[in-house]
């Protein structure tokens, strides 16, 4: 190889590369582009390394047949092509990776995190190690060849000086080429890292401003690929959560519209009701019904559980109540009919609903009620300043379809007497220390504000509950209806 003119050797190598490159395009289409996104950079490296080795093998075979190259010369040529293939392959892999990242950004692709991690430190250490070995091998071969060449020179000062200059120029040229290749490799690697980092931070910045329309491209098997994949999972989770919140907001609006928008104006009665849910939606419910003969029905109910499931159950029972009250005869028949429908719907779900239904007849001052597993209503006698309960037996709706309810009654009241129908979320409210609000505090508030309107009493109870709870979370829905008898 030493006797072959450099121009001739270069032409042979160039022609060999051109011949091999003819097959590169179809090979790239079948071997590289057909692979998954994650594997394409790796296959691009293998393909270009194989192309360079094939070109070197073709050139070495031609030179051995035509010019009688020795095996050592052919081996040196193959090593040179392998070195070139290593750098060209790495550069091609990085370019392919960069292209895939940009395509993924443009198409807003969403891929799963890589199953196997090839960390950046391992990747960089591998490249650094192989580069060091390659450079050391090339320089060792050059020095070994030059030492052999120098040993054969005549002991002439001029010849030795020319040889030194030739060796220095050769080493400088080789070092310059290797330095350019290494620097190009570092720059390409840095561009990819910068692109990955900027893409990741850009998407995260969009997320911080509420924009969830973009994904992070998963184009590598390193930490950036893992972070990108999990970031995309987080974005999907946030999108799902936003859809749920949007649905809950709509459900909250719908459910609030199902509750009375204002209390009815009834001669002889001053009524005020409130529901406060611990979640966006809840299972508590209250309502007012105009009944035959100028009677009024007041219902307070509490579905088992919290959240969407309880809200749906509450909505169903409300519909049954509104349907059954059209043929109202008495509280017993009303709740018996509703219980039949509710049990058929909820028997497979183990859900139930407690209900307190009160019929008030202002004309003859009578109270008639059915207690279906609900908290007893409180009755405050303003003259005696004493409390009693509107109690009685009764099973919650949705448990036994055949259950028959029993009504209880009370006749007569004083002007200013108060009835409170509420859910257990009132007296079971806990403060930060874990203590319950209890019935005693509730009775003290009613007694203290007994001379005020039902709305004022209602407001005083809610404010007292909030003051008592302070920073503790509301654990249950709170519903109460205050009826002041006039």
CA distances for 125 relative to 38, 119, 132, angstroms: 20, 10, 10
Q: Which residues fall within 8 angstroms of residue 239, CB to CB, at 6 or more apart?
A: 212
Q: Which residues fall within 8 angstroms of residue 200, CB to CB, at 6 or more apart?
A: 216, 224, 227, 228, 231
Strand partners, 466: none
Tens place of pLDDT for every residue, the chain, 486 residues?
Answer: 555 666 777 788 888 888 888 888 898 999 998 888 778 888 998 999 999 989 888 888 888 888 777 777 777 788 888 888 888 888 898 898 888 888 877 777 666 667 777 777 777 787 788 778 877 777 777 667 666 666 666 666 666 676 667 667 767 777 787 788 888 888 888 888 888 888 888 888 888 888 888 888 777 777 788 888 888 888 888 888 777 766 656 656 666 677 888 899 999 999 999 998 887 767 788 999 999 999 999 999 998 877 777 778 888 888 899 999 999 999 999 999 999 988 887 766 778 899 999 999 999 999 999 999 999 999 999 999 999 999 999 999 988 888 999 999 999 999 999 999 999 999 999 999 999 999 999 999 999 999 999 999 999 999 999 999 998 988 888 999 999 998
Give residue for tokens 């239904």: 357
Q: Which residues fall within 8 angstroms of residue 316, CB to CB, at 6 or more apart?
A: 342, 345, 346
Helix (H) or strand (E) segment spanning residue 389: strand 386-390
**Measured between alpha carbons, how far is 201 from 193 in angstroms, rounded to an integer?**
12
SS3 94: helix
Note the CATH number of domain 264-485: 3.60.40.10
Q: Structure tokens of 315?
A: 């909505």
Residues 222, 225, 230, 234: is their CA dihedral positive or negative?
A: positive
Phi, psi of 274 (to 5 degrees): -150, 140
Q: Cβ–Cβ contacts within 10 Å for residue 20, how many? A: 20
Of 108, 399, 393, 100, residue with least CA distance to 235: 108
Q: Cβ–Cβ contacts within 10 Å for residue 428, how many? A: 14
Q: Quick check: 480 and 422 in contact, CB under 8 A?
A: yes
How much is the pLDDT for 197? 87
Question: What pairing do the DSSP bridges indicate for beta strands 284-291 and 366-372?
Answer: unpaired
Whether the model clears a pTM of 0.85, i.e. scores above it, the answer is no
Of 272, 320, 293, residue with least CA distance to 461: 272
Q: Quick check: 206 and 214 in contact, CB under 8 A?
A: yes
Angle between helices 307-324 and 223-258 (to 10 degrees): 20
Helix (H) or strand (E) segment spanning residue 230: helix 223-258
**Measured between alpha carbons, how far is 399 from 393 in angstroms, rounded to an integer?**
15
Domain boundaries, given as residue ranges, for the chain: 6-237, 264-485
**Measured between alpha carbons, how far is 467 from 465 in angstroms, rounded to an integer?**
5
């Amino acid at each position: 190889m030493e006797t072959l003119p450099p121009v001739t050797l270069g032409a042979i190598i160039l022609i060999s590369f051109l011949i091999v490159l003819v097959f590169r395009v179809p090979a790239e289409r079948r071997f590289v582009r057909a692979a998954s996104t994650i594997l394409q950079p790796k296959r691009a490296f293998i393909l270009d390394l194989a192309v360079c080795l094939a070109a070197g093998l073709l050139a070495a075979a031609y030179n051995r047949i035509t010019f009688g190259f020795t095996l050592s010369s052919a081996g040196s040529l193959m090593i040179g092509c392998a070195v070139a293939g290593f750098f060209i392959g790495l550069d091609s892999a990085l370019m392919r990776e960069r292209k895939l990242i940009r395509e993924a950004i443009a198409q807003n692709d969403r891929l799963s995190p890589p199953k196997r991690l090839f960390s950046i430190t391992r990747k960089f250490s591998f490249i650094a190690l192989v580069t060091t070995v390659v450079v050391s091998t090339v320089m060792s071969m050059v020095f070994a060849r030059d030492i052999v060449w120098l040993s054969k020179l005549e002991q002439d000062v001029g010849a030795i000086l020319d040889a030194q200059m030739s060796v220095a120029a050769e080493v400088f040229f080789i070092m310059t080429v290797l330095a350019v290749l290494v620097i190009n490799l570092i720059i390409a690697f840095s561009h990819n890292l910068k692109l990955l980092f900027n893409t990741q931070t850009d998407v995260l910045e969009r997320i911080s401003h509420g924009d969830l329309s973009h994904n992070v491209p998963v184009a590598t098997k390193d930490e950036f690929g893992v972070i990108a994949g999990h970031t995309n999972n987080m974005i999907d989770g946030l999108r799902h959560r936003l859809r749920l919140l949007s649905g809950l907001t709509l459900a909250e609006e719908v459910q609030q519209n199902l509750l009375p928008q204002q209390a009815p104006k009834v001669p002889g009665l001053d009524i005020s009701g409130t529901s406060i849910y611990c979640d966006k939606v809840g299972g508590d419910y209250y309502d007012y019904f105009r009944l035959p003969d100028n009677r009024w029905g007041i219902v307070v109910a509490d579905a088992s559980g919290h959240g969407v499931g309880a809200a749906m159950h509450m909505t169903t029972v409300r519909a049954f109540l509104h349907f059954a009250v059209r043929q109202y005869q008495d509280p017993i028949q009303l709740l018996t009919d509703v219980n039949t429908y509710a049990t058929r719907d909820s028997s497979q779900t183990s859900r139930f609903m407690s209900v307190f239904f009160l019929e008030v007849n202002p004309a003859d001052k009578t109270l008639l009620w059915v207690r279906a597993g609900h908290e007893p209503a409180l009755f405050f006698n303003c003259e005696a300043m004493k409390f009693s309960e509107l109690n009685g037996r009764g099973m919650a709706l949705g448990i036994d379809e055949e259950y028959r309810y029993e009504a209880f009654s009370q006749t007569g009241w004083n002007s200013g007497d108060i009835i409170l129908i509420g859910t257990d979320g009132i007296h079971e409210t806990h403060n930060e220390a874990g203590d319950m609000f209890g019935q005693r505090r509730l009775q003290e508030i009613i007694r203290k504000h007994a001379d005020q309107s039902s709305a004022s009493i209602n407001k005083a109870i809610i404010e007292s509950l909030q003051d008592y709870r302070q920073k503790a979370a509301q654990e249950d829905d709170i519903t109460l209806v205050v009826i002041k008898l006039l």
